[in-house]
Structure 1
Amino acid sequence: MATVKASAAVSHVGRIRSNNQDSGYAGRRLFMVADGMGGHAGGDVASAIATRRIAEADVDYGNTAEAGASLEGALIAANRQLAATVADHSELTGMGTTVSALLLVGDRVVISHIGDSRIYLLRSGELSQISTDHTFVQRLVDAGRITAEEAMVHPRRSVLMRVLGDVEVSPEIDAMVLDTRSGDRWMLCSDGLSGVVSFDEIHELMSADAGAKQVADRLVKASLDGGAPDNVTVVVLDIGEPPAPATPPLVVGSAAAPLAFGQPSEQARPRGIRLTTFRPHPVQETHFEPDSADYFDEIIEEDARRRRRRHWTWGFWIVLLIAAIVAAFALGYQWTQTRYYVGESNGRVAIFQGIQQDLGPISLHELHTETDLDVAELRTYDQQRVGQTISAGSFSEASRIVQRLEDSVE
C-alpha cells in the first residue's frame, strides 16, 4: 500500500495579477489544483467553491471504482454549485475553473481532470505529463497544425474548451486510474507554472534531492523568475516511507480566504499593474469557448498562416542566399581587378588587368596596355615566360617587368 511520505501546496499571485484566482489543496489522500477564470468578476470564487466542494471527497475508499465515482461526482456537484451561484449572483456570469485532482487509494491513484491545469509524475528520474490540456491550442498540437513551442505563444493560447462553471450542465471530465509506488513524486500545477517554465526545467527541479515543500517553493520561484504573468499554484506529493504524520489539510490560494461576492471585495479590486522586466508575453484572460465550427475554421486559418510563414521564411532565405552570392561575386571580381599580369597581345608584350582565368562566359581580365615590344625579339626563356603570363601585384610592378624585358633585348 502506497503511503504519503510528504506533501506541500504553495500558491502565489504572480508578478502581474492583482488577485489570486488559483486554489490548491493538499489533504490526507486527496490533492488538487483549481485555476479560476472570469477575471475579477469571479475566477477566485469559482476555484474556491470547486476546491471546497471537491475536498469533501478526501476520505478513505474500499477500491478505485468507489473512489473514482466519488471524485467525479464531486466535480459534477461542484459544477452544479457554480451554476447555482451564478443564478443567484448574475455579476459572476461566465466564471469557471479548471480542476486537476488526484486521490490516493491503496497503491493506485484515481485522477479527475478538466481544463489546462496539469498533473506530472516523476518516476525513476523520468518525468511524464499525465494530464492533457483541454485547450484550443492543444487541439491544434494534437492535429499536427502547430508545435508545442508555437502553442506557448499562440494568440488563442488562453482559450479553454472544457471547464467547470455555468457554461455546461454536464462537462466532460477526464478520468483515469494509475499505479503508484514508493519513490514516485507527483506534481499538480496551474498553467502559471507550465505556461512559463519549460518541461526540462520542471524535470530538473522535481528531480532535486529535496523535500516536497522545498521543491514546490523552487517551482513557484522559477515561474516568478520567468515573469509569472499569471497566478501560480503547485502541489507536490511524495510517495514512500515513513508516512507523513497526520496533519490538517493544507488549503492555499483563494480557497484559503473567505468567499466574498455580491460586491467586489477589496482583495479582488484592481490595484494597478505591477510591471516586470521579465514578462515573457502579453497577459491574456483565460476564457471558455465551447466546441463549434470556429474550431475547424481556425484549423484552416492556422494551416494558411503556416503556409504563409513557410513561404515568407523560404523567400527570405532564398533572397538572402542570392544576395550573399551576388555580394561574394562582386567582392571577388573587385579583388581580381586589383591584379595584373604580363602576356601577349597581337604578337606584342602587353599588360592585362585582372587574372588569367575566366568564370564561364565572364572574363576576369582585360587588355590594359599593349607595348611596341615584339615577343619574337625576346630571348627564348622570356618568350616562354610571357607566353605563360607573368603575374604582378600592381600596374607599377607589371610596368617594371615590361621594362626588364625591354632591357634584356637591348
Structure 2
Amino acid sequence: MATAGKSAAVSHVGKVRANNQDSGYAGARLFVVADGMGGHAGGDVASAMAVKRIIETDTAYSSAQDAEFALQSALLAANSLLAETVFEHQELTGMGTTVSAILRVGDQVALAHIGDSRVYRWRAGELEQITADHTFVQRLVDSGRITPEEAAVHPRRSVLMRVLGDVDAAPEIDTTILDVRPGDRWMLCSDGLSSYVSDDKILAVLDSVADATEASDRLVKESLDNGAPDNVTVVLVDIDESGASSSVPPVLVGSASAPLSFEPEPSRRPLRLPTMLLHPLRPIPPEPEHFEPESEEYLDELILEDRRRARNRRIAWLVAIGLAIIALVVSLVVAYQWTQTRYFVGANGTTVAIYQGVQADVGPLSLSSIYQQTSVTLESLPPYTRERVENTINANSLDGAEAIVDRLAEVGDE
C-alpha cells in the first residue's frame, strides 16, 4: 500500500494467485490501474510495462484535450511496446493488460480506458460507473440478450474483447473528458474489486470513510473477505476545495513497483525427477484468467454458443416441467384408482346406500359415488344407528359394506 496526499493506491495479490499481475499508479496528475492477463506467461510484465510507459504523461497540459490525446497516444505506444516485447520473448506470447487512467487538468479530467478495469465517480452521495467493460457479456447486456444479473454469473464473463497486447496493432481505446468538482471521489479498480464487491458496498465505504488510504484499505479488505481469488487493486483520488489531488511523490503498486523480469516463476519451473519422487504432484487449481478473442469470427462463435446454451437451458426447463407434470398426473391417477377400492355406507335421502370411494372432494370433483342403493330406510333404524349411518360407516371392502347393510336391515326389522 502507498499513499499520495489526497490519493491512495493499494494492491493485493488476492487469495489464490501466486503473483500480482495488477499495477497501479497515483501521481501528481495521473492515476492508472492495469490488470495483466496471460498468467505466468507475462500478465505481470504486461501491466507493469504499460503503466511505466503511460506514467510518462504525468505532466502539466494546457488543455484537457491535449491530455486526452497524450493518454490515447501513450496507450497505443504501450500496445506497440508489448507487441515488440512478445516478438523478442516468444514465451510471453498471449500476454496483455487492461488499462483505466485519468489525467487531471484543472477542473477537468481526461480519461482513457480499455478492458474491464473500471473508473467510478462518487459525487454527493451517489456512485456512478464511468467506464464500460469491454467484455463479451457486456456486449450481450448492451444488446439485450442477457440481464446484468445474468452477466455476473455467466460462464464467459472473463472473456475480454479489447486489451493492450500483441493481438491488435491498433486497438480501439475509449477516451473522454469530464468535469471534476470539489468533494468528488474518483476510484479506479481492477476487476478483483468490482467482481466481488457490490456497488452498494463500494458506495457505503466511499460515503462513510473520509480518509483515502483508509477507504482504499477497507475496499480491498471487503474483496478479500468475499473470497476474491484474483489480484485486487484500488486507486482513490479525492478532489478538495483547492483542486489538489496529491501532495507527495508519485507511487507505484503491484507488479509495476518491482523490477521487470521475464523469467518464469520458480514455482512453475519444470520439476526434476528426484524432486517429483520426493514430492508427488498435487492438483493445483487453475488460476482465473482473462481471454481475448482473436477475430470477429470468434465473437460470432461465442454468441452462437451462448444462444445454444440458452436454448439448451430452455429445453432442459421444459423437459423438467413436462416430467413434473407427467409425474403429478400419474400420481393423481394412481391416487384416484386407490380411492375407488374403498367403500362406505351412508344415507342417500331417506334410505341407506353403499358408496364407492372416499369421503372427500377435490375442488368440484367428488371422490365417491353411489355403488348400490338398498331398501333399508333410515326411519326403520334406531336413532343412534341412524346417526351413525348419516355420519357414514367405513368398510374395508365391498363385502364388508354389504355385511354392514345386512346388519342394518336386521336392526330395522326388529
The reply to whether TM is greater than 0.5 is: yes
Match of 1:236 in 2: 236
Asked if structure 1 preserves the Cα contact closer than 8 Å seen for 2:117 and 2:191, the reply is yes
Does 2:307 correspond to 1:303?
Answer: yes
Counterparts of 1:123 and 1:336, CA distance in 2: 72
Structure 2 unpaired stretches of 5+:
272-280
- Pair 1:360–1:164, CA change in 2 (3 A): closer
Does 2:298 correspond to 1:294?
Answer: yes
- Pair 1:182–1:267, CA change in 2 (3 A): farther
Task: In structure 1, give the amino acid aligned to 2:324.
Answer: L
Match of 2:169 in 1: 169
- Pair 1:41–1:379, CA change in 2 (3 A): closer
CA offsets, 1:147-171, max 9 Å, x none?
Answer: 3333333333332221112222221
TM-fit CA distance, 1:335: 7.5
Moved more, 39-48 or 332-341: 332-341
Asked if structure 1 preserves the Cα contact closer than 8 Å seen for 2:239 and 2:245, the reply is no
- Pair 1:209–1:326, CA change in 2 (3 A): farther
Asked if structure 1 preserves the Cα contact closer than 8 Å seen for 2:354 and 2:370, the reply is yes
Give the aligned CA root-mean-square deviation in angstroms: 3.9
Query: Any residues of structure 2 matched to 1:87-166 within 5 Å, and which?
Result: 87-166=87-166
Does 2:392 correspond to 1:392?
Answer: yes
Query: Any residues of structure 2 matched to 1:320-331 within 5 Å, and which?
Result: 320-321=324-325, 323-324=327-328, 327=331
Aligned length: 397
Match of 1:374 in 2: 376
Query: Any residues of structure 2 matched to 1:5-404 within 5 Å, and which?
Result: 6-241=6-241, 243=244, 246-261=247-262, 263-264=263-264, 266=266, 283-321=287-325, 323-324=327-328, 327=331, 340-344=344-348, 349-355=352-358, 364-365=367-368, 374-375=376-377, 378=380, 390-392=390-392, 394-395=394-395
TM normalised by structure 1 equals 0.82
Counterparts of 1:177 and 1:270, CA distance in 2: 49
Moved more, 204-213 or 63-72: 204-213
TM-fit CA distance, 1:188: 0.9
Counterparts of 1:289 and 1:377, CA distance in 2: 91
Moved more, 240-249 or 76-85: 240-249
Counterparts of 1:159 and 1:207, CA distance in 2: 32
TM normalised by structure 2 equals 0.81
Counterparts of 1:358 and 1:84, CA distance in 2: 81
- Pair 1:105–1:325, CA change in 2 (3 A): farther
Counterparts of 1:232 and 1:379, CA distance in 2: 88
Task: In structure 2, give the amino acid aligned to 1:14.
Answer: G
SS across alignment from 1:24: strand
- Pair 1:94–1:244, CA change in 2 (3 A): closer
Counterparts of 1:315 and 1:58, CA distance in 2: 60
- Pair 1:203–1:315, CA change in 2 (3 A): farther
Identity %, equivalent residues: 51
